A and B are shown apart, each in its own frame.
Chain A
Amino acid sequence: MFTPSWSTDAGSVVLEQERVLVASQLALDAGVRAGMRRGGVVMLLPDARLHARAPALEAEALQAVALALLQYTPQVTEGAEATLLMDVGASLRLFGGIRALCRRVHADVRTLGFTASLACAPTARGAWLLARANAGRAVRMESLLRRLDRLAVLLVPPARPFADWFDGIGCHTLGDLRRLPRPGLQRRCGRALLDLLDAAYGLTSELHTWISPPETFRARLELYDRIDDAELLLAGARCLLVQLTGWLCARQLAVERITLRLEHERGRVARAPTGIEIVLAEPAWRDEHLVRLLRERLARLALDAPVIGLALEALQVRPMAPPNASLFPEPGGSEEDRMRMLELLAARLGPENVLQPLPLADYRPEQANVWVPVQQTVSDKARAAQLPPDVLSLPRPTWLLARPIALLMRDRRPFYGSPLQVTSNPERIEAGWWDGLGTRDYFIAEGQDHTLYWVYRERIGVDEREPRWYLHGLFG
């Protein structure tokens, strides 16, 4: 059962062996308590959503968190009782100290939709005990010993079978436990308890098998409800992106192409998942830019059915190349910043509306003025080869009308707002007979308000008509 912290509470209760294990805040307010039977819950909260505990889903969730946390250290391992152990000794300076690191871990876990109790300690087992007791941070060995001594004995799994005996002899805390004679304790409770204590107190070293990230990235998220709101979909997608970030950091890769599939409910007709594909010009391994791109794409998307699941896949990756930071940053930002801005613009406006010029060596002005999407890579050399050697020799208007406007004639002069006076010699353009373009004589004409226009006259009229005048451009 996955109800992320950003979803609405519908009164969910999780049962294990017909007893309540945990309940959501709404259910707790209604009086549901841990250990209740199913009948009691139904009586208190008739429309409660009852779920059986699913160990497979829990393991999957833990895997997802572990994958996300791989961005902070490559050394992450699963501990007992739904815990994760991370060795952050080498990461402290990079992430700005233990407090900043804890804040980021908390934020990431919250993005994934979970709540975590976080603890740190110089020993892995000690951190595990503190986290289980929710007893906070201990950075120095002395404070760890102090805190451990105050913890309850029953936190230690090997001690639980002997709970009655410990209670009987008045041994409640780990401090009490350590004062007991070791040989006797080993005979009664076994080797495991002493080993665990030694590891926690830093007397012996521990070995872990670290999680190794998978070869390819493919994450799936089942949504708790049918969703058709872009903001909630984005929150779901962020869960997956956080995992992607962890995977990319662990494998030292940067992503070039990802696809997010929105899965729809299978009703009478099977509906293919809606795919959103994002292609990046600059490979990225941080999720901020991807989140911004996804937000714009999701906002533009029109869903024809509610979404019940999300799947994210990294289709194309390349080795991560950390940026070369300069000592004095350029005022205009780097080329990557520029690319990111253009990608963001293309995500909202559409790639066909973010254009760069690709002039074509053609005499006809319409054909020469070609604009292509920014994503298309055009080399400067190819572009320069298409430009005339002396650009200043050709009088060309800044604005070229999409379609030439046929001009009225008054007193045998073209008229556009005011009578136009031709002020230049004609420039004859005669090309493209295969496309049906006739011969045109271009002039620069001046209106009475001194605005300059680029007009042309057909040399030969179409259909036996008089040659007509057309307005084709404005001089900016």
Chain B
Amino acid sequence: MTCSSSISAAPESLHPSLWLASQLARGDTRCIDTGHLALSAHLPGGGWPTGTLVDLLLPQPGIGEMRLLRPALAAVATRRVVLLQPPHPPQALALATLGVQPSQLIWLRAGSTADALWAAEQVLRSGSCGALLFWQNHVRGEHLRRLHLAAQAGETLFFMMRPLAAAQDASPAPLRLALRPQSGGIEISFVKRRGPQRDATLFLPLTSYLPNRHAPVDRTTPAPVAARGVHTQLVH
């Protein structure tokens, strides 16, 4: 009797991995702050989770994804940042402006998909790198699961950049975000997260490369999801 009432009162007080469907999961993994307050409020754990696979779905490379990751990369750049199969040759000078020193960068090119997947697994298993960014268009589900498992062995920040069409396919990644370019920033839609489904997109202003000629347009960012602790009644 008392047991059932306590469950309906606060399931999250029973075990850290329990949460209500309307709440964001409390991160049991370590998270790196995204550096964007509006985005952190919508992510379980309040940041990019380390040691898990994070899917970023892009319509094409070069839409501001690196600027989105800039604060997180700068935070982990005490260790190496590995770029595996980027779509175009990365430019060290530009990455230095993003806060990653050239001495911390590694660029891996792989001849085949199998080699690329193997390299990703080796980097994740060694656990000696701060972040791994992996561009791959076609990955099979079992390979994703394997990479996710390898990521769990360490505390590497692991982003997988995949085309937008991959949003239709299932993925073991606990966090999947679709990114679209917007004027002066980036638009994020949450394909999957440990928390309530969110259909509205989130606009995030990014630091621009352009000189400031216009005042930024004010956009209202939607209110964050009800924080943990606000009890919602289940309707029977």
Chain A interface residues toward B at CB < 8 A: 331-334, 337-338, 340-342, 344-345, 348-349, 353-359, 365, 368-369, 371, 374, 378, 380, 383, 387-388, 391-392, 394-402, 423-425, 444, 446, 449-453, 473-476
Contacts and interface: CB of A to CB of B under 8 A. Distances in A.
Interface string B170-197: 0000000000111110000000000000
Interface stretch (B9-17, B31-39, B97-105, B140-148): B97-105
Contact of B93 (A342, A345, A394, A444): A394
A338 B209 contact: no
Q: Chain A interface mostly helix, strand, loop or mixed? A: mixed
Nearest to A359: B92
Interface of B: 59-67, 79-80, 86-98, 102-103, 105-111, 115, 118-119, 122-123, 126-130, 155, 180-184, 209-211
Among B60, B86, B91, B119, residue most surrounded by chain A Cβ atoms (within 10 Å): B91
Contacts of A388: 93
Contact of A391 (B97, B119, B129, B155): B97
B108 A359 contact: no
A157 to B, nearest CB: 53
Contacts of A446: 183
A311 B130 CA distance: 40
A342 B129 CA distance: 11
Nearest to B80: A338
B109 A349 contact: yes
A378 B182 CA distance: 39
Contact of A355 (B59, B109, B115, B180): B109
A338 B80 CA distance: 9
Given A355-B109, A397-B62, A423-B210, A369 B89 contact: yes
B106 A342 contact: yes
B209 to A, nearest CB: 5
A353 B210 contact: no
A356 B36 CA distance: 29
List 9 A-B pairs, minimum CB-CB distance, nearest first: A474-B62, A476-B66, A357-B92, A399-B88, A333-B128, A341-B126, A396-B94, A353-B109, A357-B102
A354 B211 contact: no
Contacts of B102: 356-359, 383, 387
A474 B93 contact: no
A391 B98 CA distance: 10
Contacts of A337: 126-128
